Amino acid sequence: MLLRIDEIKFEAQTRILPFRDAQGNQQSGTIFKAIAVRAGQSSAPNDRAIDTVQVEFDEFDNLNLFINGDSVQINTLPSDEPILMLNLILYVYPNEIVIKHVRG
């Protein structure tokens, strides 16, 4: 699923899978396995004027965080202060990750 708001240069994309029980049988419901948020505008291919944050569960259900393509260990991030980027602000709490768009 993709959400794009061109006026503020913002995109959010989710990866969803059907819910399966412990035996592998498909059940009613959907599981969100990943979300990626992208904000900013650039004319150069590798310009850092575009911020990306991706949060995903891997095949072992470990939570992975990527900031601008770089893997980040969640337990090493400060929980009492935000991570500031050009276009996004990331808050990491013990049971929650909040991504906010900074509108320029």
pLDDT tens-digit readout, 23-77? 989 999 998 899 999 998 766 666 667 889 999 988 888 888 999 889 988 777 7
Of the candidates 73, 74, 68, the residue with the CA atom closest to the CA atom of residue 54: 68
**Which residues have C-beta within 8 Å of that of residue 64, sequence separation ≥ 6?**
54, 55, 56, 57, 58, 71
